[in-house]
Amino acid sequence: MTKVLLALIAALLLCAAAQAASLECIVPSKPGGAMDLTCKLAQKGLQGLRGTPKPPPSDMHISYLPGGIGAVAWHSLVSQRRAEPNTLVAFSGGSLLNLAQGKFGKAKASDVRWVAALGADYGMIAVRADSPYKTLGELVAALKDHPEKVLIGVSGTIGSQDWLKMAMVVKTAGVDPKVLRFVALEGGGEAFTAMHANYVQVVSGDASEATLYAAGGNTRVLAILAEHRLPGVLANVPTAREQGIDVVWPIIRGVWMGPQVSDADYQHWVSNFDRVLASPQFAQMRAASGLFPFGLTGDALAAYVKKAVDDYGRRAAELGLVR
């Protein structure tokens, strides 16, 4: 009996050690959107470090914790899982916008530990491939004439990043955003699913998400909200600027950790992502994911995030969106 008990204890200890050594990346939305892409990109990048000195845990799994446009995942880590050394959470510029608007309650940027920015994305406007709208101008004209007939799918509610993109586009074209009909959805994947089911007619989302769907031939991207056209799958899509609407919306994508992760564990992950970002193979992975070079880690990223949240807060206040 003693041998059986000792064997059982040993097995439990091995299981606990394996679990402790594993890495989790939490997607704060449903599968299929750009947050999902961020965790998958981190997973691929870290796998590329296997066989090197001080490799990261060998088995990273991705989990999904949607709700409150990121608030559920934020509060889960900050209140219940504060010191988990191998748990990352994906974030975007939209997360920082929500933080600035108080959509995470009284949360502050300094409440968590910012690990790495993996790349940059851009906003975009898309419709189904069989949509009557062939250009951004045609869509804006329809929204001006009959806004009640066009449902626009966005990740989040009024004031979210996707809402702001579309609001800025139509406002620049002389349309009051208040007359538009938005449908709040949980993540970009759900928004595209709703559009393909004709539940909504338009998606205001991100270029990386559009890259995933446009290649299938069932999505028409009307405009990219970037300074210049993007390479790859969306190379033939004109910018909003080219179509007479001067709106540019860049988006940062990366990962953060709980606030009580030890300095040693935090620096371990910062170092790992420094190596990931320096890898030529990762540059190829990032491009294949529809993202563009933008790499910051550790203190430099924390400083960037603080400034971005402050800037978003001022912009939101100007639009009357801050609670």
Residue 287 has pLDDT above 60, yes or no: yes
| Count, residues in the chain | 323
The pTM of the full predicted model, rounded to 2 decimals, is 0.75
CATH for 24-119+252-318 is: 3.40.190.150
Residue 33 has pLDDT above 90, yes or no: no
Residue ranges covered by each domain of the chain: 24-119+252-318, 122-250
Q: What is the pLDDT of residues 123-158, one digit of tens each?
A: 999 999 999 999 999 999 999 999 999 999 998 777
Q: What is the pLDDT of residues 82-91, one digit of tens each?
A: 999 999 999 9
The architecture of the domain spanning 122-250 is 3-Layer(aba) Sandwich (3.40)
Determine how many CB atoms are found less than 10 A away from the CB of residue 311.
Answer: 13
Residue 15 has pLDDT above 60, yes or no: no
Query: What's the pLDDT score for residue 196?
Result: 94
Residue of higher predicted confidence among 94 and 200? 200
Cα 311 to Cα 24, 99, 246: the distances in Å are: 31, 11, 20
Give the list of residues 6+ apart from residue 183 with CB closer than 8 angstroms, or none: 151, 152, 153, 154, 194, 199, 200
Q: Name the β-bridge partners of 127.
A: 202, 220
Query: What's the pLDDT score for residue 6?
Result: 40
Give 51's pLDDT tier (boundaries 50, 70, 90): low
Query: What's the pLDDT score for residue 84?
Result: 95
- Reading the block at residue 262, the tokens are 């030890």
Residue 4 has pLDDT above 70, yes or no: no
Give 10's pLDDT tier (boundaries 50, 70, 90): very low
pLDDT > 90 in the chain, percent? 58
CATH fold match for the domains 24-119+252-318 and 122-250: yes
3-state secondary structure of 209: helix
Give 223's pLDDT tier (boundaries 50, 70, 90): very high
Q: What value does the mean pLDDT take over residues 110-123?
A: 95
Give 243's pLDDT tier (boundaries 50, 70, 90): very high
Residue 57 has pLDDT above 90, yes or no: no
Q: What value does the mean pLDDT take over residues 241-250?
A: 93
- Reading the block at residue 90, the tokens are 């994906």
Distance CA 300, CA 259 (A): 17
Distance CA 94, CA 191 (A): 15
